[in-house]
Structure 1
Amino acid sequence: MADYQLSGNPPVPLTLRRSARARRISLRISSLDGRVTLTLPSGLPEETALAFAEEKADWIRANLEKHPEAVDAVFGAAIPVDGQDRVIAPAPGRRIQMDAGRIAVPGPNPGRPLQRYLKELARNRLAEASDFYAARLGRGYSRLTLRDTRSRWGSCTADGGLMYSWRLILAPPAVLRYVAAHEVAHLQEMNHSQAFWDTVECIHGRWQEQRAWLRENGASLHRYRFGE
């Protein structure tokens, strides 16, 4: 991949990706973070792809306006934890401290330490929820891993491994628990049949509201950047 910029104010970052299977230039804007990717055939000059992007500049900018603005995890910024906005502030001690409307982080650059803290908090909450629903189901899982996935909030492997997006800690607790119940239900039903949804409802209860929240608000959880 190669990174370029679309001219204008402000400039728009572009990612160029070559594909041996591509027959023409394709343009994609991520629904999660607004990343603009141009895919071009192997033999096509990069200048041709960039000229194509310039021709589509108005369309690109119009679509980017629909995406929520990125938020860097810096002092003074607000970030949701458990679905509640908390302002990032300097911590007087060596430990991260969180209360109703504030999260205090030690050191001059809060991004990376805050991300590590949130990942650990997510692991604890998701492990607790997974254990609870697995006990209700009467099935165990083999492992629990966290990732920063862009296309799904969780998954379950055939050998009982559960994977979750750590960004679920930013969502309301009920949403996190629903995702845990959803993946645990796959330990019994590796599909999305009616039997699967019956299993989700059996171990979790009504789930429609939480699923709708993710569909409407899930993409916004990817707007927060921690200096990765």
Structure 2
Amino acid sequence: MSPNFDLHEESVIIGGRAASVRWRRSQRARRVALKIDPQGGEIVITLPPRGSRRAGLALLRGYEDWVAAKLAALPAPMRLADGEMIPVCGTPRTIIHDPVMRGGTVIAASIIRVTGQKEFLARRVRDALREFAHERFSQRAHETAAKIGVRPRRVRVKDTTSRWGSCAPDGTLMFSWRLIMAPDFVQDYVIAHEVAHLRYLNHGSAFWDLTNRLTPYRAAATSWLSTHGPGLLRIS
């Protein structure tokens, strides 16, 4: 059995508005934890093995103002649909459904042209962006790693909500496919950050010194992700 599993979802009133709460039970949790899931726009309360719903609600009410402010600050969700505009490498592209075109999804300078039936459009766009992200991030990660004489075991892309990238102990680098929508300088920083972990699997001073040598964009990129990252998580 997974150490984490959902219990149920329910609606509560937060700051005078209805909000969704997803309850989770974790065998590893030592205390009740509260977070906002920006992708789903919901509250997630994690309970330890013996934690009670009452304790979870008490924590939620204790931080009600903070939760209400975080929910209110979330960008509106955006669907991958015909006519919508989404960024790729920071440049806006308009999604255009072209059912008579052949050759799959094409990411061009100002558009994303999608073939096939309209009900599969969102999935086709996601698949194309994931493929593009894997190709781009893999190439840039290997190029960056070569500068310091290391090599990632492999590069993967996933759909994560808590981190833009990670480095496993075995040298596997993982990046959120949504990072492909961020500007180049943001991608550069996240890739450099994870490549630096191939040398230092910690956040000590040596790690940050190496990261700063690999990229000049640390401050600008972290600021951009703090401001605009939640918006990327709301695109589905």
**Shorter-chain TM-score: which interval?**
0.7 to 0.9
> Unaligned 5+ residue runs, structure 1?
none
Which residue of 88, 99, 118 corresponds with 2:95? 88
2:201 to 158, 170, 190: 190
| TM-fit CA distance, 1:187 | 1.2
> Residues 6 and 53 of structure 1 are in contact (CA less than 8 Å); yes or no, is this contact kept in structure 2?
no
- Overall identity of the aligned pairs, in %: 35
How far apart, CA to CA, are the structure 2 residues paired with 1:201 and 1:23? 35
Note closer, same or farther for the CA distance 1:192–1:3 as it changes in structure 2 (3 Å cut): same
What is the correspondence of 1:159-198 to structure 2 with a 5 Å cutoff?
Answer: 159-198=170-209
Q: Does 1:103 align with 2:109?
A: no
Per-residue deviation, 1:13: 3.1
Matched, 1:147 2:158: yes
Equivalent of 2:82 in 75, 78, 81: 75
Give 1:47-62 correspondences, 5 Å limit: none
Mapped partners of 2:156, 2:219: distance in 1: 25
With over 3 angstroms needed to count, the CA separation of the structure-2 counterparts of 1:73 and 1:11, relative to structure 1, is farther
Q: CA 1:136/1:36 → structure 2, altered by over 3 Å: closer, same or farther? A: same
**Match of 1:4?**
10
Unaligned runs of 5+ in 2: 1-5
Relative to structure 1, is the Cα distance of residues 134 and 12 closer, same or farther in structure 2, using a 3 angstrom cutoff? same
1:203 deviation in Å? 2.9
Cα distance in 1 for residues equivalent to 2:183 and 2:28: 41
**TM-score, with length taken from structure 1:** 0.80
* Number of equivalent positions: 224
Give a deviation string over 1:150-186, Cα, whole Å, max 9, x none.
Answer: 2211111222111111111010122112211111111
Q: CA deviation at 1:146?
A: 1.4
Q: Residues of 2 paired with 1:202 and 1:54: CA distance?
A: 42
Q: Cα distance, 1:53 vs. partner?
A: 11
Q: Give RMSD over aligned pairs.
A: 3.3
Name which of structure 1's ranges 117-126 and 181-190 shifts more when overlaid on structure 2. 181-190
C-alpha contact 2:34 2:60 (8 A) present in aligned 1 = no
Rounded Cα–Cα distance in structure 2 between residues aligned with 1:143 and 1:24:
35
1:136 aligns with 2:147: yes
Residue number among 159, 164, 169 corresponding to 1:158 in the alignment = 169
For 2:193 and 2:12, how far apart are their aligned partners in 1? 41
Letter in 1 for 2:24: R
Contact 2:83-2:94 within 8 A present in 1 as well: yes
**Quick one: higher RCO (CA 8 Å, sep 6+), 1 or 2?**
1
Aligned residue among 211, 214, 220 for 1:203: 214
SS at match of 1:137: coil
Question: Equivalents in 2 of 1:214, 1:54: separation in Å?
Answer: 26
